[in-house]
A and B are shown apart, each in its own frame.
Chain A
């Protein structure tokens, strides 16, 4: 599904440069649910951004579903992101003047889907996250947990191969966090491959595999016994 080989990335800081990723090797199979952990500055977000084609590696290979991701033009990157990836952000990143339905439909809009078809599909995904009744509400009229569910519906809308979540529960309280995690686990049960950056141990323990980064290298990569989130809800 996803193969990364000797990935390096550094950022220029003034005259010197900061070596953030120092040769990452990672392989993720279809249907996995991986937590990437590490303290801040460990390079976990950079890794996720490179996987999300929002950033580019200096060297190394990245192959997504058999497709080498290298030297992409902005346009191609946009098309790939739209087709292959679903993003879930810590701060939801919903468009505040669009209602839930429109937000979910946005990736489909950029696919060039017809309006009616798009809205039907968006509504289907909203239903799936249990927010069909809130379709016409603006993000500010929804709670944090609801907003994140809208964001998840949006990430799912284009039916991506890989879901990327950057601290998906970072802005939520514990109870809501567990609800969201229950959702994500359910998605994984249905076969979605999920990659998640987190620094919370209990959230990581709800994944099936934990990859620990420190100073740009993988310290530990092990499969874990998944803790189901439903029991806390």
Chain B
């Protein structure tokens, strides 16, 4: 059945009719070429963006919401409006105990601190943290370790420095682990160096010290700066946010409808927006790509229709010499599929070049906007299969047109 595909003569015929109309054949192929190029280029870019988003958010548990206290905007239970709202460790504990679907709650405190080491000094953002923070926002450690439970239990005076902080306080390539720095005139032992991520949700942190130590040296008691709340993957983070805020209002005697008492940043919601955007973009890409492809394939069909019209007489001669209608149709369909496939493969190759160029221009370094822009082999195969199917279908139109004319009429054609 498919023996003719491996027959040199079939391809000789294809080559002959192609080379007879080189320019037109090439122009015909532009549509399909462009369609595939668009599909590959856009899908690859979309994948690159997705990769870069994933890399940016990779350090975070994305099903998270950050909540901090602001000040009340409604009088409630004898309190006037404008009362500052301060969250406490008790609040954090209550939230963790009472809200459904919570994975963990991480209380944090933060302040600006002056750090001195030998003759160098600087002012840095310092946070008091629990070891749990590492679960919500993965710290990239270059050296050493993160805060552990032992540090918390014994209020250890240990500190992690960000890479930038380290560079300001230490000589190049100097070993920092085990060295001491002065924070608020107290000596802290450096236990680790970390790298800040590309995206920082909330204020950037230059240094981490144990939470309990922080509370103690700043005399904060129970009061915390803010809390990071991570939901279990199967729970809706928006609901968790609403529940948490209601509970916190209740605990802090705030009007239930007071919307300004707490500030929050819902990472899950923002992340969902981005992924939604990416999904939309991919859908659009497929839509545009396939539509362009179909238009391109139609152009091929159209040109073949004209070619067939021009070759009416030739086809008549062939039929007089003994070509069956099936052989004529088959040849035209093969030509259609061949043109679409060649155009498609060229499109895939040039689409690949575009992705390579994109990668070279925007894909380098840690903060690249497009990471590893690529399309999977599966997509390429799907595209090729679609091309073969479309090429066959569209080739059938001129094929039937070619054999709809009786040979006698075809021969009379001038």
Contact = CB atoms under 8 A, between A and B. Distances in A.
Interface stretch (A47-55, A142-150, A215-223): A47-55
B325 interface: yes
A98 interface: yes
A177 interface: no
Contacts of A55: 406, 408
A87 interface: yes
Contacts of B320: 52, 54, 81, 87, 93
Interface string B378-414: 0000000000000000000000000100111001000
Interface in A81-133: 81-83, 87, 89, 93, 95, 97-98, 106-107, 109-111, 115
B205 to A, nearest CB: 75
Given A78-B322, A81-B320, A110 B408 contact: no
B317 A95 contact: yes
B118 interface: no
A49 to B, nearest CB: 5
Given A54-B408, A55-B408, A109-B9, A95 B314 contact: yes
Contacts of A110: 318, 321-324, 327
A157 B313 CA distance: 21
A83 B322 CA distance: 8
B319 interface: yes
B403 A79 contact: no
Given A49-B408, A98-B16, A115-B8, A93 B313 contact: yes
Contact of A79 (B8, B19, B324): B324
Contacts of B323: 78, 110
Q: State the majority secondary structure of interface residues on B.
A: helix
Contacts of A81: 319-322
The size class of the interface chain A forms with chain B is: 20 to 34
Nearest to B410: A54
A126 B319 CA distance: 22
Contacts of A109: 9
B20 interface: yes
A52 B316 CA distance: 13
Contacts of B313: 93
A183 B169 CA distance: 106
A97 B321 contact: no
Contact of B322 (A82, A93, A98, A115): A82
B381 to A, nearest CB: 33
Contacts of A87: 320-321
A106 B321 contact: yes
B235 interface: no
A158 interface: yes
A158 B321 CA distance: 9
A75 interface: yes
A54 B411 contact: yes
A15 interface: no
Nearest to B16: A97
B408 A158 contact: no
A98 B19 CA distance: 11
A110 B321 CA distance: 8
B283 interface: no
Contacts of B318: 95, 106, 110
A115 B13 CA distance: 13
A158 B324 contact: no
A89 B412 CA distance: 11
A154 interface: yes
16 contacts: A49-B408, A52-B320, A55-B408, A74-B325, A78-B322, A78-B323, A78-B324, A81-B319, A82-B322, A93-B317, A95-B317, A97-B16, A106-B321, A107-B321, A107-B322, A115-B9
A-B residue pairs, 6 tightest by C-beta: A82-B322, A110-B322, A54-B408, A78-B324, A107-B321, A93-B317
Interface of A: 49, 52, 54-55, 74-75, 78-79, 81-83, 87, 89, 93, 95, 97-98, 106-107, 109-111, 115, 154, 158
